[in-house]
Chain A
Amino acid sequence: MKIGSMLVDILRSLVHPPATQIYPSERRPAPDRLRGKLHWNPAQCVGCGLCSKDCPADAIEIITVDKQNKRFVMRYHADRCTYCAQCVKSCRFNCLQMSPEDWELAATNKQAFTVYYGDEHDLQRLVERNTQPDAEPAKTG
Chain B
Amino acid sequence: MTTGSVPKRFSIPIGPQHPALKEPGHFDFSVDGEVVTGATVRLGYAHRGIEKAAENQNWVQNLYLLERICGICSHIHATAYCLGVEKLADVEAPPRAQAIRVLIAELERVHSHLLWLGVTAHEAGFDTLFMYSWRDRETVMDILESLTGNRVNYSANMLGGVKFDVTDDNRKAIERGVNFLETRTRHYLNVVTTDQVFVQRTRGVGVITREQAEQLGVIGPTARASGVLRDVRVEAPYAAYRDIPVQPVIETAGDLEARFVVRLKELFESYRLIRVILEQMPPGDLNVRMPRRPKAGEAISRVEAPRGELFYFIKSNGADNPERVKVRTPTLCNMASVLVTAVGQQLADVPMILAGIDPCFSCNDRAVTISKAGDATSAVWSWQQLRQYSQAYYRRRL
A interface residue numbers (CB < 8 A to B):
1-6, 9-10, 19, 31-35, 53-57, 82-86, 89-90, 98, 100
Contacts and interface: CB of A to CB of B under 8 A. Distances in A.
Nearest to B148: A33
Contacts of B11: none
Centre residue among B58, B61, B135 by max chain A CB count within 10 A: B61
Interface in B318-336: none
B362 interface: no
A99 to B, nearest CB: 11
B128 A56 contact: no
B132 A9 contact: yes
A104 B11 CA distance: 50
14 contacts: A1-B199, A2-B196, A5-B191, A31-B149, A34-B150, A35-B149, A35-B150, A54-B58, A54-B60, A56-B57, A82-B153, A86-B63, A98-B149, A100-B149
A6 B148 CA distance: 33
A6 B129 contact: yes
Nearest to A58: B61
Interface in B32-88: 57-58, 60-65
Given A1-B194, A33-B149, A98-B149, 12 more contacts: A1-B196, A1-B199, A2-B196, A5-B191, A6-B132, A19-B138, A33-B147, A34-B149, A54-B60, A56-B57, A57-B64, A89-B158
B325 to A, nearest CB: 14
A83 B190 CA distance: 40
**Which 10 residue pairs across A and B have the least CB separation, nearest first?**
A33-B149, A56-B64, A56-B61, A5-B195, A84-B155, A31-B146, A1-B196, A54-B60, A35-B149, A5-B191
A12 to B, nearest CB: 10
Contacts of A100: 149
B128 A9 contact: yes
Centre residue among B64, B148, B197, B199 by max chain A CB count within 10 A: B64
A127 B57 CA distance: 32
A109 to B, nearest CB: 26
Contacts, number: 74
Contacts of A6: 128-129, 132, 191, 195
A35 B60 contact: no
B90 interface: no
B285 interface: no
Centre residue among A4, A35, A84 by max chain B CB count within 10 A: A84
Centre residue among A3, A33, A83 by max chain B CB count within 10 A: A33
Centre residue among B57, B146, B150 by max chain A CB count within 10 A: B150
B387 interface: no
Contacts of B243: none
A60 B379 CA distance: 41
Nearest to B128: A6
A86 B196 contact: no
A53 B194 contact: no
A131 to B, nearest CB: 34
B196 to A, nearest CB: 4
B172 interface: no
A5 B135 CA distance: 17
B26 to A, nearest CB: 31
B163 interface: yes
Centre residue among B190, B197, B199 by max chain A CB count within 10 A: B197
Nearest to B184: A9
B163 to A, nearest CB: 6
A136 to B, nearest CB: 28
B164 interface: yes
A1 B203 CA distance: 13
B287 to A, nearest CB: 8
Contacts of B211: none
B182 interface: no
Nearest to A20: B135
Centre residue among A5, A35, A53, A100 by max chain B CB count within 10 A: A5
Contacts of B191: 5-6
